[in-house]
Structure 1
Amino acid sequence: MNAVNILEQIQNQYASFSKNERNIADYILQNKAIINNMNIKDFATNVNTSTSSITRFCKRIKVDGFVDMKIALRSLTAVSPHREMPTIFDDIYGYYTQVIDGTNQMVDNERLEQIIDLIKKANRIFVYGIGSSGLTATELSQRLIRMGLNVIGVSDSHLMIINSSIIKENDLVIGISNSGETIELIESLKIAKRQKAKVVALTSYKNSSLTQVADVNFYGYNSRFVNNTVFVNTQFGLMYLIDVISTFLLQDDNLNYNMNTTIQSVLAYTKNNEVKGITG
């Protein structure tokens, strides 16, 4: 197994890991470059666990043992050369590159086609997200509105419940949650499902509670798997997915025309107000 597959295995199973397994996973993901210089005893000491736990964890992510895991991780760090004195800019560039690469590996074309089809066929589209995921939901809803689609973005948990209770069979709900465990969001989507609406989930974790509700799941790489000790945008992987969805939708001539029309309308409005400000 190569390193990319190891990282995918960890992210795919992360939601079902025990606390000890998550500690091991977090250490691997945040210290990939230095693990090669450790033996299994040093690694176990750093994670505050036993060598047998490390071995079991390796089996769970489908590698034969600690040495095989190091070999696979070494191949990952080998393709990412670092400078002797990296700057903050280098660090951030490295974080974002890893998130994009990881997300790109997880994109499934068949799922993408299903999502595009559901968006085009929906009578109404509701985009749900809370907190930072609420900002991502707002971004997606605004893009879809500019394509001429009937879209409402909802970031208030109470409004989600209310909205889901009156949703119709031909409606589509897109739920966004990095963790896939946002309780209010999941409950709202369950209500929407009972109303026979279709549900799409954008999240980072396979086998999370959110993925059990959705008809179609679309996965982004979680930035915490790169580094959770610095201020790195947790929505970056999901924003990449939104860019992919938007770009594919704009291949439709009608949606593309609507987008260009809205852009021209905004530009004309801005220009007219600037003229009024100067002359008035």
Structure 2
Amino acid sequence: MNNQSTGAKTLLWIESHYNSLTKTEKKVADLVLHNKEKVVYSSVTDLAEMAATGETTVLRFCRKLGFRGFQEFKLAVAQDLVSPNENVHGKIDENDKIEDIAQKMTSSNSQALKDTLSLLQRKELQKAVDALLSKKRIFFFGVASSGVTAMDAHYRFMRLGFQTFCASDSHVIAMNCALTGPEDVVFGISTSGSTKDLVDAIQLADANGATIVCLTNHARSPITQYADAVLLASSKETPLQGGAFASKLAQIHVLDILSTIVALRRKEETFQAIEKTTKSVVGKLY
């Protein structure tokens, strides 16, 4: 059992893999997500009939999520239901009071951070940390809203004393990736994991031998095909919500965890870098 050993909750894992599922596998996923209590008491045949698919589709769906079979998958769903996530934020209505909106948004964003923690895999974090500590240069790339997140990451790691670069323009990203090599880390940030301009450039860097780290919301999106380490953030975002703050909060949370681990692994260099950068701007404050 793979994904559960990392602490990821099964229902979150399904959502993260959803876009990579086949049409028939999505039928199974939809049924599980909306009728999870029924799934716990169903046989593989029952579930196949309810989803109007074959038993082989159900088994393929379970294995794609990292389970050995249906029974292991069903057990994981049952464990999720022992302490289900409360949908405490509810739907925001135009007639809600200001304080109710603030409460619902806070609950929703807090849940996004908790879900992100559930999806983070220790071994993937370790691979990202090892890469950042062992390579000479770090390139942070993202397009549109993810480009803003890339700038935040660049700023944070620069202050920790790393040689970092950042770009959000697709042409500049492509040219930078074409010039990378084995001593570089290319850190691609994409909520969808399917932004063609970024994925195509990442492919160039991968061919050049650079170490690829990606931060995305979708575990089997195109960008992950080239990644040496995959960091997952959790946030529900429809096509009409591109750049939603919840997605950005989840991504920043992952970067905060990652940068803190890295800083603790090289405390002396980090302290010196922070001290130097702080002194360099102290005269610019009143």
Q: Equivalent of 1:209, from 202, 207, 222?
A: 222
How far 1:212 sits from its partner (Å)? Answer: 0.8
Distance 1:137 1:222 in 2: 18
1:257 equivalent to 2:263? Answer no
Whether contact under 8 Å (2:88, 2:104) holds in the other structure is no
**Alpha-carbon distance, 1:148 to partner:** 1.9
Instruction: Report the 3-state secondary structure (helix = DSSP H, G, I; strand = E; otherwise coil) of the residue aligned with 1:234.
Output: helix
User: What is the alpha-carbon distance in structure 1 between the residues aligned to residue 163 and residue 114 of structure 2?
Assistant: 32
85-94 or 129-138: which moved more?
85-94
Matched, 1:127 2:133: no
- Once residues 124 and 84 of structure 1 are traced to their aligned partners in structure 2, the CA distance between those partners, rounded to angstroms, is 44
Paired residue type of 1:192: A
Partner of 1:269: 284
- Map Cα deviations across residues 217-258 of structure 1 (whole Å, 9 max, x no partner): 111113339xx6995532222111100011112212212321
Partner SS for 2:188: strand
How far off is 1:167 after superposition? 1.6
Which residue does 1:274 correspond to in 2? none
- In structure 2, the CA distance between the partners of 1:7 and 1:103, relative to structure 1 (3 Å rule), is same
Q: Give, as a single letter, the amino acid of the residue that structure 2 aligns with 1:6.
A: T
Distance 2:227 2:76 in 1: 33
Unaligned segments of structure 1, at least 5 residues: 38-49, 272-280
Partner of 2:41: none
Aligned pairs (5 A) from 1:227-266: 232-251=245-264, 252=266, 253-266=268-281
- Higher-Rg member (1/2): 1
Q: 2:45 corresponds to which residue?
A: none
Corresponding residue number in structure 1 for 2:21 = 17
Structure 1 residues 159, 75: closer, same or farther in 2, change over 3 A?
A: same
Q: Secondary structure at the match of 2:51?
A: helix
CA 1:27/1:237 → structure 2, altered by over 3 Å: closer, same or farther?
farther
**TM-score w.r.t. length of structure 1:** 0.74
Q: After superposition, where does 1:109-188 map in structure 2 within 5 Å? A: 109-188=122-201
* 1:169 partner SS: coil
2:86 corresponds to: 80
> Which residue in 2 is equivalent to 1:101?
114
* SS of match in other structure, 1:176: strand
Report the alpha carbon displacement of residue 267 of structure 1 after superposing the two structures with TM.
Answer: 2.7
Deviation readout 1:51-95 (Å, 9 max, x if unpaired): 43499797635777xx99997675444x63859999212211221
Shift in CA distance, 127/74, structure 1 to aligned 2, threshold 3 Å: same
What TM-score, normalized to structure 2?
0.72
CA–CA separation in structure 1 for the residues paired with 2:91 and 2:214: 40
The residue type paired with residue 211 of structure 1 is T
In the TM superposition, what is the alpha-carbon distance from 1:265 to its structure 2 partner?
A: 2.5
- Unpaired segments ≥5 residues, structure 2: 39-48, 63-68, 93-99
In the alignment, which residue of structure 1 is the partner of 2:205? Answer: 192
Query: What CA distance in whole angstroms lies between the structure 2 residues aligned with 1:174 and 1:192?
Result: 10
Paired residues of 1:180 and 1:203 also in contact (CA < 8 A): yes
Percent of residue pairs bearing the same amino acid type: 23
- CA shift in 2, pair 1:94/1:173, >3 Å: same
Q: Is contact 1:13-1:207 (8 Å) kept?
A: yes
Change over 3 Å in CA distance of 1:231–1:215 after alignment to 2 = closer
The amino acid that maps onto 2:273 is: N
Alignment size in residue pairs: 255
Task: Indicate if the aligned counterparts of 1:126 and 1:151 stay in contact, CA closer than 8 A.
Answer: yes
For 1:16 and 1:269, the matched residues in 2 are separated by 50
1:80 partner letter: E
Structure 1 distance, partners of 2:102, 2:260, is 28
CA distance in 2, matches of 1:230, 1:177: 10
Measure how far apart 1:10 and its partner are.
Answer: 0.9
